[in-house]
A and B are shown apart, each in its own frame.
Chain A
Amino acid sequence: MNIYDNYLSTIREAIDRDKKSKSFSKGLSGFERPLTEGVDTRAFFDKKIDMTPLPSFLNLVNTAGLKANVNQKLGEHPDFKHLKETNQTEKHYIVSVFIDIKGSTNLFREYDLETITVITNTIQRAAIHTCVALGGYIHRLQGDGVFVYFGGKGVDKKDANIKAITATSMFSYFVKNDLKKIFDQDGIEDISTRIGIDFGDDENVIWAKAGIGDCSEITTYSLHTNLASKMQGHAKSNGIVVGEYVKSKTQLSEELFSLVTDSYGNVIKRYIFENRKSGFLYTQYEFNWLKYLKSLPYLREDVDGLVPVSKDDAERERLNRLRQTAGIITGGNAFTDSEGNISSSSVGVKNQPHRFHYEG
């Protein structure tokens, strides 16, 4: 996806410098240290990069009609940071997302420590910017991984779940396709991501201060935050596993969800949480993120893979789809579902014929 080009060029540049320095030192026997400079980590960290996603991201976000949450600090969800100064707690829904980068140990076989520092940081920055661009709040960085919240006060629950799913799908695409191309050239395999997402509703999530004094943070106490982390552990390489509440809140097509299976296709751990006493069985699902991305109106597939469509093209395509729906309505074949969506799929109430009216 060309929105990640900037991150890819940073990684490519670091790898090229790493190779050049090694090949030069190899050619000059007797020298213990390379004569050409390797990767300059100081220059990398000196580059002023803040939470604002790159323009390529912001264009996409703009086309999709979304808004980035640029003004944020690590671990300080703006809707709940006031709790840090008090002993109070608050109940409010949240979508918890755990993104882990696997296989970075393989990088040590090929590259210098400096190069690896730049690579892993760039991948993590890509994850952060993807989530921020889609309205996420970065809560914690764990090694190569990122723990993100989606949603907050005044944010629709369905929207929060959709944004979490979209951000993680885009990041998975970046790792599986764009990043893979770079590392494949050097014979490095298995750099992948594993993601777990779960939704805890208002009554199931408590926001409170954890820790003491300066050594504290605002966090959520919820079964579903725990389960998101657990589900990430059940995700396949470049896979996303979501809880059943995410599935029901997003109201996406059933085709995008399937039970988690092993490499032989056998269902594993259908219920990520079971409380036989209360009869609460909570299912985890594998999410088909590639199919989902292909269905998004602001992305299209070309020879280079998925690329964002321009704002004009997106609007033109949206008009076409609206007109298709209008055609279903005027053709007398429309049904309205429980959320107010109109289609010809016989789901919901059959629309009755009528004519709009007015005169002032």
Chain B
Amino acid sequence: MRAKVFPKGKHYQSKKYAFLYHQKLLIEQTFSYLKCDIKNNVLVCIGWLQPQDCKDRYKVKIEYVVGYEPKTTILKPFILPSKHIHMYKDHSVCLHYPPDMRWNEKIKICEYTIPWVSEWIIFYEIYQITGKWEGRESPVHIRECDKNIGVDIND
């Protein structure tokens, strides 16, 4: 979701790397299945996970640009995108309804986005059996073009 809250000033631009590095450290300390790297002002975390009782292993990619909500993509297995499973055409998933909480650079990805990925997988596995999304959903929806970003557009 494009909720730009990070100022574009020179001072903040120079601090981007520090913010990204801090998030990277926190993620690596908390989640052993993710490997993280910072490239072109984007923190990219990739890993395989299979929450308990899930049939498949999932390869996920989380891309974070300072100040924006991270973009989470399910790389494997191949999943047919659909609004019913909150997945866009590029296989990124929408884990959060922006009015519930405005994203800012202080929000820790390891406490929000990453546990939500596990939740998405749990609800997706239930959906595969029942055909019904049983997770909590937003009352309104955003458009395809409003999906979260994976590049630093301010750079």
Q: Which residues of A contact B90 (CB under 8 A)?
A: none
The number of residues on chain A lying at the interface, defined by a beta carbon within 8 Å of a beta carbon of chain B, is 34
With A319-B129, A322-B126 as known contacts, state yes or no: A359 contacts B52, CB within 8 Å: no
1/0 per residue, CB under 8 A from A, across B83-120: the answer is 10011100001111110110000000011101111111
With A323-B134, A329-B122 as known contacts, state yes or no: A349 contacts B114, CB within 8 Å: yes
Pick the residue among A325, A341, A354 that contacts B100 (CB under 8 A). Answer: A354
A297 within 8 A of B: yes
B18 within 8 A of A: no
With A356-B120, A358-B86 as known contacts, state yes or no: A342 contacts B115, CB within 8 Å: yes
**B97 near A355 (CB under 8 angstroms)?**
yes
Q: Which residues of B contact A334 (CB under 8 A)?
A: 115, 119
**A326 near B135 (CB under 8 angstroms)?**
yes
With A340-B49, A354-B136 as known contacts, state yes or no: A319 contacts B130, CB within 8 Å: yes
- Interchain CA distance A358-B112 in the complex, whole Å: 18
B155 within 8 A of A: no
- Interchain CA distance A315-B53 in the complex, whole Å: 10
**B97 near A354 (CB under 8 angstroms)?**
yes
**A352 near B123 (CB under 8 angstroms)?**
no
**B118 near A340 (CB under 8 angstroms)?**
yes
B55 within 8 A of A: yes
A34 within 8 A of B: no
Q: Which residues of B contact A329 (CB under 8 A)?
A: 119, 122, 135
**B52 near A330 (CB under 8 angstroms)?**
no
Pick the residue among A322, A338, A355 that contacts B30 (CB under 8 A). Answer: A338
1/0 per residue, CB under 8 A from A, across B34-56: the answer is 00000000000000111111110
B141 within 8 A of A: yes
Pick the residue among B30, B31, B94 that contacts A357 (CB under 8 A). Answer: B94
Q: Which residues of A contact B137 (CB under 8 A)?
A: 355-357
A321 within 8 A of B: yes
Q: Looking at the assembled complex, report how far the CB atom of A159 sits from the nearest CB atom of chain B, in whole angstroms.
A: 9
A339 within 8 A of B: yes
Q: Looking at the assembled complex, report how far the CB atom of A18 sits from the nearest CB atom of chain B, in whole angstroms.
A: 46
Q: Which residues of B contact A354 (CB under 8 A)?
A: 95-97, 100-101, 112, 116, 136
1/0 per residue, CB under 8 A from B, across A344-360: the answer is 00001111111111111
**B83 near A356 (CB under 8 angstroms)?**
no
A65 within 8 A of B: yes
**A357 near B122 (CB under 8 angstroms)?**
no
Pick the residue among B31, B100, B141 that contacts A340 (CB under 8 A). Answer: B31
With A329-B119, A342-B52 as known contacts, state yes or no: A357 contacts B141, CB within 8 Å: yes
Nearest opposing residue in chain B for A325, CB measure: B122
A156 within 8 A of B: yes
Q: Which residues of B contact A356 (CB under 8 A)?
A: 86, 93-97, 120, 123, 133, 135-138
With A329-B119, A356-B133, A359-B83 as known contacts, state yes or no: A339 contacts B126, CB within 8 Å: no
7 closest A-B pairs by CB = A359-B141, A340-B49, A336-B115, A357-B138, A356-B86, A357-B94, A355-B97
25 of the cross-chain contacts (CB-CB < 8 Å) are A156-B57, A315-B129, A318-B129, A319-B129, A322-B53, A322-B54, A322-B122, A322-B125, A330-B135, A334-B115, A340-B51, A340-B118, A341-B52, A342-B52, A342-B115, A349-B115, A351-B119, A352-B115, A355-B97, A355-B136, A356-B136, A359-B141, A359-B142, A360-B143, A360-B144
Interface residues of A (CB under 8 A from B): 65, 156, 297, 315, 318-319, 321-323, 325-326, 329-330, 334, 336, 338-343, 348-360
